[in-house]
Amino acid sequence: MTTEATRTEAPTPAPAPAPTVKCLVWDLDDTVWDGTVLEGDAPQPFPEVLATLRALDERGILHAVASRGDHATATAHLEALGIEELFTVLEIGWGAKSDAVRRVAEALNIGIDTVAFIDNDAVERAEVAAAHPAVRVHAAEQAGGLPALAAFQPPFVTDESRGRRHLYRGELCRKRAQDNYTGPAKDFLATLGLVLSVRRASETDLERAHELTVRTHQLNTTGRTYDMAELRELLASPTHQVLVAGLEDRYGSYGTIGLALTELTENDSVLKLLLLSCRVMSRGVGPALIGHVVRDALAGGRRPVAEFVPTEVNRVMLVNLRFSGFDVIERSGDRVLLGFDPAATPPAQDGAVRVVATV
């Protein structure tokens, strides 16, 4: 008989660590600079703020603004200080800052749990924290110490991550062009001249490939992550193929936006992981990359097979696989195995995305 003295309880699982911050959202007056622009001041930025802005930008962490004031006046002052280009999204007005923070996350297409917010006003911080409990909230006097916090230290800093701000600013230009386009969305995509390049990964791609596995959740077929040693081993394996995908259009490069890991057996080409940056969700790149993987497998005399492991956010990748001709052939626990009929016609290339393969 179990008594209170002998009964043991299962330990409470430790909470999952919060993801690395992808964007720090700043208040302006008395946070970025010392004073209030609308009061006729010409306030200068705090030195520790400038140091943090540049340090985090070098790590690929984006900056945005959620601040009260007149948009034109505040933007003009940012430009006069020469720091406007460090900020990717500017939400300046008179509404609730929690709404502004939400709009920043939506504009960047990132999870609210990857956002941090800094403000000198305790009431504003409390309002954001109450509306978005997953947002990391910091007082203005903490600005200088943020780069030392673990949440602001990505596991890897690549050349591509150092240029992330430019990639996102280019994407916002595309979005503005799309918002001003009066025709169907598919017709707008055709105007971009999208080119998807697919090639075998090399040693120089490993850091970015690892970064993609740990940062990308929504457009990810299995949610698996791979460290550098595992990826290096897969690159050298004769029974595996690691592909990276890049995307360009008339607005410039999106950088390396995709990864496909395939295991080659005697009869099958098994897609163990397919992921795409959320920045290209609306570009039709998923079907284009899947189509390339299918055609490559068929050309090698193998049946295309894909694994899918559902998470809370990745159902769109299952939809992409099904619309590309994959049918469920096996279920085992959470794992779903899908196959493409080798006798079927390979998926046609979308006219909006031209695929250039160098593998």
Average pLDDT over residues 295-301: 95
User: According to the model, what pLDDT value does residue 15 have?
Assistant: 58
Query: Strands 115-119 and 89-93: what pairing?
Result: unpaired
Confidence of residue 359 (pLDDT cuts 50, 70, 90): low
User: According to the model, what pLDDT value does residue 124 have?
Assistant: 97
Confidence of residue 17 (pLDDT cuts 50, 70, 90): low
**How far is residue 86 CA from its own chain's centroid?**
19
Closest CA to 25 of 81, 123, 108: 108
| Whole-number Å distance between alpha carbons of 191 and 180 | 13
User: According to the model, what pLDDT value does residue 129 have?
Assistant: 97
Residue 4 burial (CB count, 10 A): 5
pLDDT at 88 over 80: yes
- Averaged pLDDT score across all residues of the chain: 90
pLDDT at 62 over 90: yes
Tell me the per-residue pLDDT of 124-156, one tens digit each, with 9 for 90 and over.
999 999 999 999 999 999 999 999 999 999 877
For the segment(s) 189-357, the CATH number from 3.40.50.300, 3.40.190.10, 3.40.50.10440, 3.40.630.30 is 3.40.630.30
User: According to the model, what pLDDT value does residue 283 have?
Assistant: 85
Angle at 355 between CA 164 and CA 253, to 5 degrees: 20
23-32, 203-212, 296-305: segment of lowest average pLDDT = 203-212
Tell me the per-residue pLDDT of 93-115, one tens digit each, with 9 for 90 and over.
999 999 999 999 999 888 999 99
The DSSP symbol for 224 reads -
pLDDT at 195 over 90: yes
Single-letter amino acid, residue 309: V
| Whole-number Å distance between alpha carbons of 71 and 38 | 11
Average pLDDT over residues 328-351: 89
* Homologous superfamily in CATH for domain 23-152: HAD superfamily/HAD-like (3.40.50.1000)
Question: Of residues 315 and 163, which shows the higher confidence score?
Answer: 315
Residue showing tokens 């592909």 = 243
**How are the residues of the chain apportioned to helix, strand and coil, as percentages rounded to the nearest 5?**
40, 25, 35
| Domain boundary assignment for the chain | 23-152, 189-357
Closest CA to 189 of 252, 279, 250: 250
User: According to the model, what pLDDT value does residue 10 have?
Assistant: 53
pLDDT at 160 over 90: no
User: According to the model, what pLDDT value does residue 253 have?
Assistant: 87
Residue showing tokens 């075998």 = 200
| Whole-number Å distance between alpha carbons of 61 and 65 | 14
Question: Of residues 116 and 158, which shows the higher confidence score?
Answer: 116
Q: Which two tokens stand for residue 225?
A: 């992550």
**Do the first three CATH levels of 23-152 and 189-357 match, i.e. the same topology?**
no
Percent of the chain with pLDDT over 90: 66
User: According to the model, what pLDDT value does residue 1 have?
Assistant: 47
